[in-house]
Amino acid sequence: MPHTPSRTLAMITLSIAIGLAVLDSIIANLALPTIATSLAVSPAASVWVVNAYQLAMTVSLLPLAALGDISGHRRIYMVGLVVFTLASLACGLAPTLPLLVLARLLQGIGAACITAVNMALVRHITPREHLGRSMGIIGLVVAAAATAGPSIASAILAVAPWPYLFLLNVPLGALALALALRALPVTPGSGHRFDMASALLNAAGCGLIFLGAAGFGPGDHTARSALILTVGLVIFIGFLRRQTRLAAPMLPVDLLRLPVFAVSAATSVCAYIGQTLVFVALPFFYLVAGGRSQVETGLLMTAWPAALVIAAPLAGRLADRYAAGRLCGAGLAVMAGGMLLLARLPADAPMLAIIAPLLVCGAGFGLFQSPNNRAFMVSAPLDRSGACAGLMTTARLTGQTIGGLLVASIFAITGIGPAAIGQGVSLALLVAAGFAAAATAISLLPRRSLP
């Protein structure tokens, strides 16, 4: 079935919004030193410009996905666009760090609205036989935004002060909103009641887990962070127990009884653990152990998402024709092989020798991502698409959080000198390959009920 103009416009607005949400999770990192100097705050305090955005997304994602199912995905998406755009304006105008952090919290909530229902809306506007292709397009946009993020931030900061990193979102957000009003379909709500108790338990549990995990970085108190993390885990376990007693749970534990859904979720967590281990550990290898410049390291790390940009749309087309398990298994096996090749390279290896296995990893991850996302979405009833999309994103965030914690733990064991960093990164890459191999095995498990 060919794309109609309205469907094309709908995909454009979904692509713009998800691209902005991804960009704003990346570009602020590069501007932190400039922001700290401009607002006369310490580097440690400026980190909350990044943490506030991630924290807001973490605590609000599942409740907003549930609201999307209850009140309609289009409504939550439109609210998210408005909040994100206005919060971007507030970020650009913020005169102090507390106001900037508050604006970033609001911006993160707006981004969570967009992210929570984005894939559900893709499912509403795309015929089933072309769903993988559309998800491949979204995967391409996400990868392109991740690839271009540092370059875009550098270009903006070279000609304008840091507020323009956020102010440029305003016209793009307004454009996405205008297109959404015209092109996005009105999606029906399920009529279920919103479970405020689950929302509060989720927010408290996820928030404390995030804060506890973040506290394991250098300069923080490990015992206090461990206590915060433990309390968060206890609260989140209470949240999970509550979900098992609900007919339409906020975290769709009922859908996890479907083999295709459970396999897709477990595969995603393991794959993102492996990806994050590489993304977090490898820059230390080249900067500290290899003595490379930030520019060289940035160019090297761009190879993975660049390959993903090429592989994602191709994988999306293949996902409409072939079984997800085989495509995901093949992609993850390729990614594991690339990680093993990286683990064998010295820090001072030629750039082309490093870029080649990173391209292999990116291509393998791209071959896995679109088919797995398609399997996620088609495994749930249409009126639970929001909850399904929320869990899909939660699986990604869980994998990224665990991956980051594993890198911190490995570095704590091996030490922080150049030689120790080299040993730590080699170990992290081997662990990453192990998780990629585990994801390969899980993805090949039977996915009954998958069309």
Encode pLDDT of 137-147 as tens digits.
Answer: 887 787 777 76
SS3 of 291, please? Answer: coil
Is residue 191 situated within a structural domain? Answer: no
Q: Summarize the confidence of residues 385-410 as an average pLDDT.
A: 76
187 occurs within a structural domain: no
Are 256 and 395 within one domain?
Answer: yes
The per-residue b/e assignment along 156-168, b for 16 or more CB within 10 angstroms, e otherwise, is bbeeeebbebbbb
Evaluate whether residue 188 is within a structural domain. no
Tokens of 197: 């108790």
CA dihedral sign, ordered 375, 379, 384, 390:
negative
Q: Which domain holds residue 103?
A: 1-182
Whether 418 is in a domain gets the answer yes
C-beta of residue 64 within 8 angstroms of C-beta of residue 119:
no
Answer yes or no: do 31 and 135 share one domain: yes
Tens digit of each residue's pLDDT (9 = 90 or more) over 36-83: 888 888 766 777 887 788 888 888 888 898 888 888 888 999 999 999
For residue 100, what pLDDT is reported?
95
Distance CA 93, CA 81 (A): 19
**Residue 260: is it exposed, middle or buried by C-beta count within 10 angstroms (0-12/13-18/19+)?**
buried
* Domain assignment of residue 297, yes or no: yes
Q: Are residues 174 and 271 in the same domain?
A: no
Any idea which of 97-101, 114-118, 133-137 has the lowest mean pLDDT? Answer: 133-137
Largest CA distance in the chain: 59
Q: How far apart are CA 77 and CA 54, in angstroms?
A: 18
Render pLDDT for 17-32 as a digit per residue (tens, 0 to 9): 988 988 887 787 767 7
With cut-offs at 50, 70 and 90, classify the pLDDT of residue 3: very low
> Is the domain of 105 the same as that of 177?
yes
Q: From 450, 408, 438, select the one nearest 226 (Cα to Cα).
A: 408
pLDDT reported for residue 450: 41
Number of structural domains the chain divides into: 3
In this structure, the answer to whether residues 221 and 266 fall within a common structural domain is: no
Q: Fill in the DSSP letter of residue 169.
A: H
Which of 147, 182, 217 terminates a domain? The answer is 182
pLDDT at residue 200 tops 60: yes
The predicted-structure confidence for 240-286, as pLDDT tens digits, reads as follows 889 888 877 888 777 777 787 888 888 989 998 998 888 778 877 77
The enclosing domain of 65 has a CATH number of 1.20.1250.20
Kindly state whether residues 313 and 439 are assigned to the same domain.
Answer: yes
State whether 119 and 205 are in the same domain: no
Q: Is the pTM of this model over 0.85?
A: no
